[in-house]
Amino acid sequence: MKEMSKTTNTLRIKLLPQLAWKGIVSNGNVYYPYLAAGIFSVFTYFVFASILQNDISAMFPKKEYAWIMLALGKYLLSIILLLFLIYANGFLVKRRRKEFGLYHILGLEKKHIGAMMFLESLLLYVGALTGGIIFGLVLSKLLFLLLLRVCRMPMDLQFVFEPVAFKQTIVYFGVVYLINYVDSLWQVGKSRPVELMSGSRKGEKEPKFLWLYALLGMAALGFGYYCSITSQVDSMIFINFFRAVFFVVIGTYLLFTSGSIAFLKWMKTRKRTYYKPKNFITVSGMLYRMKKSAASLSNICIFSTMALITLICTLSLWIGMDGCMHFTYPYDMTMSYREEKVSLSDIMHKINELEEKYDLTAQRVDVYDKVELHVKKTENRFSIQDGEDHAEEYVIDILTQDDYNSVQDSSLRLAEDEAIIFCSGRDFGYDTIDLFGKKFRVQEEIKEFFPSPKAEGNTYQARYMMAVKDKQVRDVCVRAWCEAVGVEDIDGFLQSDEIQRVMLLLEGNDEKKAAFLDEFGEWGQSQPGFTSLLSGVERRENDRIMYGSLLFVGILFGMIFFMCLILIMYYKQITEGYEDRDNFGIMQKVGMSDQEIHGTVHRQILMVFGLPLAGALLHTMAGMFMVKGLFAVISFFDMKIFIGSIAGVSALFVAVYGASYLFTAKTYYRIVKQV
């Protein structure tokens, strides 16, 4: 007897690898997409790990920006992939519960089923790891070149695969697949054979407090939209961003899980509509499984929104990156001097010398004096900052008439009570200026002032420029500010606070500019009174690397979100197709035609696909108000590019989403017809 038992166990153990392989192959319609998703996940993670391990600090100038963006991207990617693969693994277990129950009834113990599941997980892990790393080895260099391209870096940098990248990828996905195996083992182990045999056909309970949760969902979604639409570009914008995201996610989940059921129950009360054969089957079927579907639908909606917003931001930033950088740093170099000034003739002599040496031309050389005052604006009145509300705080640069004419190449003439005003953001919009009690009549509000490019949406970094008749009038303004602030040595402040600006813009490539500006900067720093130097070329290069790295991360994340979206939609319809097959078989037996079945399938899938898409488009449109504000922080104000990107990405997304709908509808109908 013992020998027979031992022989039986041996046969079972030998049979397990075959069952594991057969289990994957025979359920290929759910396992192959899961394997493909695993391969793509490994590939993406391996790309991030490989680039991060290629000693970016040695290859990239001002590399810390790229490294931070990529490291943050890898961290977020680790979280997203873990949650997504756990979520996808739940579909596999759900699909095979009946099969596991049958194995148990035929004589396999749960420990043998657990061993078989381990072998399946091991095969999937090895397959995903092998495929992902092979694709990574083939395509990582190409993606590295893409990173260099979007950062506009030299294309001859070497890419070397480091063993650490392989180790990190192997360990990370080993942990992910181990977690999935333990989760699968727990789901099967805690269920009795009869529960496994029933598969996933167990009825779902209706959520308690249905209408309360539906109303809370509407309130949460409305508040999330409100936070996004009314957000201002201030110190709270990032807090408001996360607040809006949180409430939109909560509202989406509650509306899909409770609001959808409440709506379907309301549809049942409309007798004339509900008791038509087409509507009866559609509404009844959706109501039966809506709680089960709702989680998937809300995830599809959220992933769709994430994909849309990521792609819109990526495309907008890619097209408008140069505009962002030149808005923030319009000059190639800016130097400041206090107390002592550099003569214009000395400046021009040095520039002419360097033009000949480096074969470059100075497009603009602007030299002028100004006084910077930190002020608070209330309508047409400028007053001192109170340290509490920063929403209307600005810097105002006060120039004399002669300096303004020099910069603008104009022939302005002002009276003592007149001024010219300019704002790099929203127009000032008043006929008079009250500057600490000193009244000025606005002769003109100009729309262009080269040192400060203008954008109506620039509310975060906007500056004012005000030109007055002469130095005496300017000193009167400064004295009024000093008295309001409480400066004791006003005469000393007047002498020390005047700033001479030397601003230079060159024509030519950045490499020649860098050599020119290095030498000019060294000369400028050696002059008496020097206080600061800002290299627009260097700052633009830093921003280019930072934005380029952000673009690279955005491209890969957009691909990840779209992969998650497609796989969730596919699994959802496959699962529901098998669940509905028997139901539609009964409908055929009671006389329902193929045309009626097809129409019912079409309406159900259209509802399943249409609701998340409509929600995602609404979420995206509401989110664009906040994205616009976040773009203002990085000086992106080109609304034509922004609106064009929204329209283009949304149209493309709807088209791809629609193609997925058509494919899934055919798959669903094919499964349902197998009765």
- For residue range 328-387, what is the model confidence (pLDDT) as tens digits? 888 989 999 988 888 889 999 999 999 888 888 888 899 988 888 888 888 888 888 665
Q: In the structure, what pLDDT confidence band is assigned to residue 57 with cuts at 50, 70 and 90?
A: very low
Domain boundaries, the chain: 1-202, 361-507
Give me the mean pLDDT over the 320-335 stretch: 86
The angle that helices 594-633 and 277-328 make with each other, rounded to 10 degrees, is: 20
Residues 6+ apart with CB under 8 A from 416: 469, 473
- For residue range 139-185, what is the model confidence (pLDDT) as tens digits? 777 766 766 666 666 555 555 667 888 888 899 999 988 988 888 77
Token pair of 33, please?
């997409």
If DSSP codes are grouped into helix, strand and coil, which group holds residue 573?
helix
Q: Which residue has the higher pLDDT, 593 or 195?
A: 593
Query: Is 50 exceeded by the pLDDT of residue 86?
Result: yes
If DSSP codes are grouped into helix, strand and coil, which group holds residue 383?
strand
> Residue 488 has what pLDDT?
72
Give me the mean pLDDT over the 660-667 stretch: 71
Residues facing 193 on adjacent strands = none
Residue 497: enclosing H or E segment and its boundaries? helix 490-497
Query: 253 and 298 in contact (C-beta within 8 Å)?
Result: yes
Question: How many angstroms separate the CA atoms of 281 and 602, rounded?
Answer: 12
- ∠ CA 367-373-374, nearest 5°, is 130
Token pair of 582, please?
């028997």
Average pLDDT over the chain reads 77
Q: In the structure, what pLDDT confidence band is assigned to residue 525 with cuts at 50, 70 and 90?
A: very high
- For residue range 257-313, what is the model confidence (pLDDT) as tens digits? 776 666 666 666 665 655 555 555 555 556 555 656 676 777 788 888 888 888 888
- Closest listed residue to residue 129, CA positions, set 49, 197, 208, 56: 49
Is the pTM above the cut of 0.75? no
- For residue range 481-493, what is the model confidence (pLDDT) as tens digits? 888 877 777 777 7
Query: Is 80 exceeded by the pLDDT of residue 19?
Result: no
> Residue 648 has what pLDDT?
92
Counts of helices then strands in the chain (DSSP H, E): 20, 10
